[in-house]
Structure 1
Amino acid sequence: MGYKVAIVGATGNVGREMLDILAERGFPADEVVALASRRSQGTEVSFGDRTLKVQALENYDFSDTDICLMSAGGNVAKEWAPKIGAQGCVVIDNSSAWRYDADVPLIVPEVNADAITGFSRKNIIANPNCSTAQLVVALKPLHDAAGIRRVVVSTYQSVSGAGKEAMEELFNQTRAIFVNDPVENTKFTKRIAFNLIPHIDVFMEDGYTKEEWKVMAETKKILDPKIKLTCTAVRVPVFISHSESVNIEFERPITADEARDILREAPGCLVIDKREDGGYITPYETAGEDATYISRIREDATVENGLNIWVVADNLRKGAALNAIQIAEVLVNRRLLTPKKQAA
């Protein structure tokens, strides 16, 4: 007997990806329910070869639901995740609301799947920030091999990370520039078309943005609190997939060839690294893909035991929807969750 799964935020970019990936991967669900706010009630969304009518979250009873995949923002998650968890439904939340709670595991299955057992304290599991997810997938095998001391990461994040309105703004601004119409900024602080914006989320007192802080704090929680990490997060005029330039300083020697071999064998990683024209990955090529791609692996002679790598992944999939479903698969495969219908 399969599981009953609810998707909260089913009409958004990530919610729709969750529905697609559940169908693609053949997740053992007997029933899938699409949920959103009242204003989206009755909207139709696709699930495999079926169409689901969206129901209102406010009216839904989770008492017979096993897993809730939530992608509806931090405010909704703060209010609803404890209520849903209290009904015996495990919430896998994509927002930042629960990531830093000591009683909520923050999981990337290729990196720290064993930490998932802590979910029973609140029946909530947190999905990391999209940039963090792909970063730690690449860092984990290298950390195991040579011990990471310090990381300097610059992210180049696509507009889809800011939602459908952000994607529309990039499209509309690009079109306006070509036809010489006025360019309007509504979602972003400055023009995003043919531009870069070194500002994602709100500014904090120390000058970092909240997005940069998330990458730093989450990497420590998921991978190792002793790692020193600094981040600059940049929004770029790309629709889908985040890219990262990563400089790593290790405790022990590691060559570029050794790193390349390690990453080729690592779960979730795909190395494309030829030192020739086009012998690397770009965000355009990773859209719709599940792997974390790694290119430009090379030694940094300016520090002892240093490497540089280039990391790219689809932020809607590995950075959000896919990772959440992989977490659900860990619950199922490790038999940490029994379907309520079966238990009854």
Structure 2
Amino acid sequence: MGRGEWVVAVAGATGAVGREMLKTLEQRQFPAKTIKALASSRSAGTTVPYADTELTVEEMTEDSFEGVDIALFSAGGSTSKKFAPFAVKAGCVVIDNSSAWRMDPEVPLVVPEVNPQDVDWHNGIIANPNCSTIQMVVALKPLHDVAKIKRVIVSTYQAVSGTGQKAIAELETQVRQLFHMQDPDVKVYPHQIAFNCLPQIDVFTDGDYTFEEVKMIKETNKIMGDDSIKVTATTVRVPVFYGHSESVNIETEKKLTAKEARAILAQAPGVRVYDNPSEKIYPMPLVAAGEDEVFVGRIREDQTIDNGLHLWIVADNIRKGAALNAVQIAELLIERDKVRVEK
């Protein structure tokens, strides 16, 4: 890609994902002639790193998107709901990382390795899926194309960075406090996260599923374009800084051996097969941190059903689970000539 064609704004540029978006734009040499860093009035005037320089953060207002071609939003759902329509009205395409637009039938929900064609029907807003959903569907889509997945049972082990900077700081603080025999400060999560696992991400809803679990279920069907796939999820927060892990069990219509599944995944875009149990090689958050690929290992056949497979899927939730996926969508818009909004 050459430089110098597009004006790009990053909304929420001071947050963990916003900073990673800026880093990813630079690393992938996105063809931007101008990058605007936007955030709340509290952050206006501060700076964020970009390439070999720093960008001065501007307060995000209703007029911030005049002349902007693509805006990457990572500023929370309420902020996206408020400002995305103004960006679209200004002729800007919004790629939103919050949950605000994901299930809107008028808004594509896109993972470039899975459903790139869906960017073609955007009306100015494209939703970035949930981090845990992204890494799962990247691994499942190539298997689904060959053997048709009927059912998915997923349990997640999600890093605190998925909650944001305050959660990262809280885990670090709690570890220090506990080592010094102090009572840990508990503010971000309902319980202590250090040396603990919390089987609750987001609030509980109907049937005692959490919203995070509902997101995984509904988003998987929308992205895969197949409502017949039955999905159930249990999402768990674990004391890891970066990298979500998932235990995924699938049932397929057509029999796939573990060897066949490895061969399919080895050729799949965005996937790295990391699977040699005899050498203790399997995906871990420490392996995936800072990497772009979705790592898949522990691939084995489920002995309790005829057509079942177990997979262990790990990815950096801030990279592929958020910033990278958003930038890849922006690249798709350029590649497919869809950086256009009718004012």
When the two structures are superposed, what TM-score results if normalisation uses the length of structure 2?
0.97
Residue 157 of structure 1 corresponds to which residue in structure 2?
A: 158
Paired residue type of 2:278:
E
Alignment of 1:179-194 (within 5 A): 179-194=180-195
2:113 aligned residue (110, 114, 122) = 110
Matched, 1:66 2:69: yes
Deviation at 1:275, TM superposition (A): 2.0
Residue 78 of structure 2 corresponds to which residue in structure 1?
A: 75
CA contact (8 A) 2:108 2:121 kept: yes
Distance 1:301 1:55, change over 3 A: same
Moved more, 258-267 or 177-186: 177-186
1:324 aligned residue (292, 309, 326) = 326
CA contact (8 A) 2:40 2:60 kept: yes
Paired residue type of 1:38:
S
Matched, 1:286 2:288: yes
Deviations 1:291-339 (A, max 9, x none): 0000000000101200000000000010000000000000011222269
| Cα separation, 1, equivalents of 2:206 and 2:194 | 29
CA contact (8 A) 1:107 1:327 kept: yes
CA contact (8 A) 2:63 2:86 kept: no
Deviation at 1:205, TM superposition (A): 2.2
Alignment of 1:1-344 (within 5 A): 1-58=4-61, 60-119=63-122, 121=123, 123-223=124-224, 224-337=226-339
Deviation at 1:60, TM superposition (A): 4.0
| Cα separation, 1, equivalents of 2:140 and 2:154 | 11
Deviation at 1:79, TM superposition (A): 1.0
Distance 1:339 1:249, change over 3 A: closer
Paired residue type of 2:193:
I
Runs of 5+ in structure 1 lacking a partner?
none
How many pairs were matched up?
338
When the two structures are superposed, what TM-score results if normalisation uses the length of structure 1?
0.96
Paired residue type of 2:167:
A
| Cα separation, 2, equivalents of 1:171 and 1:261 | 40
Paired residue type of 1:226:
S
Q: CA RMSD in A?
A: 1.3
| Cα separation, 1, equivalents of 2:19 and 2:79 | 18
Deviations 1:196-225 (A, max 9, x none): 000000100210000000000000000121
CA contact (8 A) 1:2 1:339 kept: no
Moved more, 182-191 or 239-248: 182-191
Paired residue type of 2:313:
V
| Cα separation, 2, equivalents of 1:62 and 1:183 | 43
| Cα separation, 2, equivalents of 1:249 and 1:258 | 15
Runs of 4+ in 1 over 4 A off after TM superposition: none
Deviation at 1:63, TM superposition (A): 2.1
The SS at the match of 1:327 is helix
| Cα separation, 1, equivalents of 2:340 and 2:100 | 26
| Cα separation, 2, equivalents of 1:271 and 1:60 | 46
| Cα separation, 1, equivalents of 2:87 and 2:62 | 12
